[in-house]
Structure 1
Amino acid sequence: MIDSAPDLLAHTGHIAQVQGISIGHFTDSRRPTGCTAVLCPEGAVAGVDVRGAAPGTRETDLLHPSNLVQQVHGIMLAGGSAWGLDSATGAVRWLEEQGAGLDIGVGRIPLVPAAVLFDVMMGDMRIRPDAAAGYAACQTAGMQRPAEGSVGAGRGAVIGKVFGHDRAMKGGIGTASFTVDGVTVGAIVACNALGDVYHPYTGQLLAGARTEDGAALLNTRDAVLAGAEPRPVLAGSNTTIGVVATDAQITKAQAHRLAVVAHDGLARAINPVHTMSDGDSLFALGTAQAGKSLGMMTLCTLAAEAVAVATARAILLACAVEIADQPTLPAARDLHS
């Protein structure tokens, strides 16, 4: 029943409740863009699953279960499209200064895979996250609840672009976590989806493509099923990226499976999802600091749940953005108020 559905804004869990994980944002004040550092300086086994057809990523090959490296030391999520991948270099430098990284005898090499989303239509595209931005995000990292909405990697995120950017709405970044028997699984998701975003429990349309007058939600799924023709979309101009983390003891192969199943959370919250114009990518981290595991059935259930809630929170907590010479993009709170 809808009346018994959880209040997503009242959800108190967040990814930094996972032991061994800290989160930091850098939000650029010059235009809507930024980056988000998910740090695990003591190391974590990691996996990744890329479902979108237009991804922008760094060092994902080393996460394959058959490859040598067993642990990473952080994940960088960033705006700025391909240029934003440079923000991971700043995280590598910061982590090296903290003494974190793969011991190679003569020093340490921090391993920081990354994924980016396309936000370069929002203002001056020459302003994008770089190594200095990534370093700054790490400097703010902590284990308190990270800011959500229009911050960090979600600052320039936009959703619901199937019928054009001018009828879209503001995206953002959100987090959630669940704990069972002393083991926590959390997620942080930057939602810049081509599709609409729904309440994962009730199916209520929260935000997305708007009607031609911009005053109400259109419902992309129903419009397409009724024969409405989508506007041409630039490949790679959308993407939902995120990290699922747990303090359970898991193997590298299990981390990969956790990333795979976590995409079920995206499918519960976004429609359409994993399109040819999205670069949807989710990483998974396992810090082992809880000292035990719950079994993969439970971990995967929690992962998908955390991703679904984090995605919806990213939209519910976003704020409208105004840019000179561009249409104002409202947020979910503006249409539901």
Structure 2
Amino acid sequence: MRNLITDVRGVLVGNAQDPLAATGVTVALFERPSIASIAVLGGAPGTRDTALLEPEMTVEHIDAIVLSGGSAWGLAAADGVMAGLAARQRGFQIGSLRVPLVPQAILFDLLNGGEKPWAGDGASEPPYRALGRSALDAAAGDFALGTAGAGYGASTVNLKGGLGSASARAATGQIVGALVAVNAVGTATIGKGPHFWAAPYEQGDEFGGLGWPAANTPADSTIRFKGGPGQNTTIALVATDATLTKAQAKRLALAAHDGLARALRPAHGALDGDIVFAAATGYAGAPSDAFALTELCATAADVLARAIARGVHAATALPFPGAKPAWSDLFGSR
């Protein structure tokens, strides 16, 4: 087990980033078309081709999921992924043609100090199509966390955000993994200290092993907000090797949002784009009953909470004036 979403059989992940622009793209590639659904609990989402993931919609399987920076500009990343998949003869068959199905979610990283002329002059070409293709081509079992891919330009109120991942084997025997780009309106840590809200779910010392602080004060729970309208989103994918229906994948996505709420304070705000995709690759058996499905859902929530903390813990600060410090900059000696 790598403690990555790629511990789920059939899932590969690739990152690509533009350091000068301080933005990036992450692609989760399914080695064979997979069942997927989505739950959107933030009030200001940015998405592409996500309506088809609702259980009542006709299409059952998708080829990849894209997480991207760039706000609405970043939605072009799926174009590059589609082109790359078409070259591999992947996609929904329509006569002699194929249409790769690549749902996507984006986060806001336009004001992080990177150079993004396309968002101002209207003449420059955004990098996201090329980044999407590069991230697809890089898809593998191992991939970088922290300041990488869709998490490259991400931040929280007080710390650099980043790309996180984690995995676990559920009591049912199936594996569940999470992939997340943490660009939260709030905090992943408690008060002004190094401890993570996700501490009760930590495995080993995957994000420092510090546990809870000795005491929590009312000030530690004060809600703090980052930036202004549209600057906040945490986007994630949970995946399992279980065999699920589309409706069950929807339930998995909804339950996984509990992990987002456990790891970030606050979450699901009116100006957040908080989104969780859920996918099932179908290499393991189906849940035997409602209790087994609930076990998978609970595991997904725990794994997503851990992935969020890992993304912040692994991040490094951007080299721009006023950039948010990394967790390691402030607390690495602990």
TM-score (norm 1): 0.84
Residue in structure 2 matched with residue 194 of structure 1 by the alignment: 185
Counterpart Cα distance in 1 of 2:53 and 2:59: 7
| 8 A Cα contact 2:22 2:115, kept in partner | no
The alpha-carbon distance between structure 1 residues 232 and 172, as it changes in their structure 2 partners (threshold 3 A), is closer
Residue in structure 1 matched with residue 269 of structure 2 by the alignment: 275
Q: Which of 59, 63, 69 is matched with 2:49 structurally?
A: 59
Per-residue CA distance 1:38-78 (angstroms, 9 max, x = gap): 01141111110111111110111111100111111110000
The alpha-carbon distance between structure 1 residues 129 and 313, as it changes in their structure 2 partners (threshold 3 A), is farther
Counterpart Cα distance in 2 of 1:203 and 1:47: 25
Residue in structure 1 matched with residue 123 of structure 2 by the alignment: none
- In the TM superposition, residue 222 of structure 1 has moved relative to its aligned partner by 3.4
| 8 A Cα contact 2:185 2:226, kept in partner | no
Residue in structure 2 matched with residue 115 of structure 1 by the alignment: 105
Alignment of 1:62-141 (within 5 A): 62-122=52-112, 123-126=114-117, 128-141=126-139
| 8 A Cα contact 2:78 2:103, kept in partner | yes
The answer to whether structure 1 residue 252 and structure 2 residue 243 are counterparts is: no
Per-residue CA distance 1:117-171 (angstroms, 9 max, x = gap): 000102222365421110010000012x3210000000000101xxxxxxx3210
Alignment of 1:221-300 (within 5 A): 222-224=221-223, 233-293=227-287, 295-300=292-297
Residue in structure 1 matched with residue 214 of structure 2 by the alignment: none
Say which SS state the counterpart of residue 196 (structure 1) adopts. Answer: coil
TM-score (norm 2): 0.85
- The number of residues matched between the two structures is 301
Residue in structure 1 matched with residue 25 of structure 2 by the alignment: 35
Q: Which of 307, 313, 317 is matched with 1:316 structurally?
A: 313
The alpha-carbon distance between structure 1 residues 158 and 108, as it changes in their structure 2 partners (threshold 3 A), is same
Residue type at the aligned position of 1:186: G
Residue type at the aligned position of 1:26: A
| 8 A Cα contact 1:35 1:129, kept in partner | no
The runs of 4+ residues in structure 1 deviating greater than 4 Å are: 218-221, 230-233
The answer to whether structure 1 residue 15 and structure 2 residue 5 are counterparts is: yes
Residue in structure 2 matched with residue 301 of structure 1 by the alignment: 298
- In the TM superposition, residue 32 of structure 1 has moved relative to its aligned partner by 1.2
Counterpart Cα distance in 2 of 1:331 and 1:232: 16
Residue in structure 1 matched with residue 324 of structure 2 by the alignment: 329
- In the TM superposition, residue 236 of structure 1 has moved relative to its aligned partner by 1.6
| 8 A Cα contact 2:86 2:100, kept in partner | yes
The alpha-carbon distance between structure 1 residues 86 and 221, as it changes in their structure 2 partners (threshold 3 A), is farther
- In the TM superposition, residue 329 of structure 1 has moved relative to its aligned partner by 1.7
- In the TM superposition, residue 302 of structure 1 has moved relative to its aligned partner by 1.2
- In the TM superposition, residue 293 of structure 1 has moved relative to its aligned partner by 3.5
Counterpart Cα distance in 2 of 1:98 and 1:38: 16
Query: Please, which runs of 5 or more residues in structure 2 have no aligned partner?
Result: 119-125, 189-195, 208-216
Say which SS state the counterpart of residue 307 (structure 1) adopts. Answer: helix
Instruction: Quote the sequence identity (%).
Output: 42
Query: Please, which runs of 5 or more residues in structure 1 have no aligned partner?
Result: 1-10, 161-167, 207-217, 225-229
